[in-house]
Amino acid sequence: MEPRYDTSSKYTGGNNIWLHIYDIDGFTQWLNESFLINNDWGAYHAGVEVYGDEWSFLFYNDVLDPTVTGCNRVYPRRHPDFSYRSSVYMGRTPLKAMEVSRLLLVMMENWPSVKYHITDRNWYGTFARKSKF
């Protein structure tokens, strides 16, 4: 699994870890800005960038095959299904690029799309807080 580097970005590269936040859709963006953010709530999509790739965990409602991974790789800050909002720097990973690749390959097998749950099993709630990144 080769990383896809975007050398034009100041955010990309090396072992820096970024959490990229996206608005899910126009209505959810409006809810977030009008009501939810004022009460310390929000509904967003998030992806974790490391070594030039952004990873997230998604449910595909048209795929019920438990062998289809929910792990999704995109160019940083360019997820095609969501509108980029902001980024949060999370620090550096002590892992080398190959170690991250191996960890992600294992996760791709253990994180099928059908296991996604909006509150109990999502990318940030389960992966980002507990990962070895």
Q: What percent of the chain has pLDDT over 90?
A: 40
Which structural domains are found in the chain, ordered by start?
Answer: 16-128 (3.90.1720.30)
Lowest mean pLDDT among 91-95, 102-106, 120-124, 128-132: 128-132
Say if residues 112 and 68 touch (Cβ distance below 8 Å): yes
Between residues 117 and 34, which one has the greater pLDDT?
Answer: 34
> What does the alpha-carbon distance between residue 100 and residue 34 come to, in Å, rounded to a whole number?
38
pTM of the predicted protein model: 0.78
pLDDT tens sequence across 24-42: 999 999 999 999 988 888 8
Three-state secondary structure call for residue 57: strand
Dihedral sign (CA 16, 120, 86, 69): positive
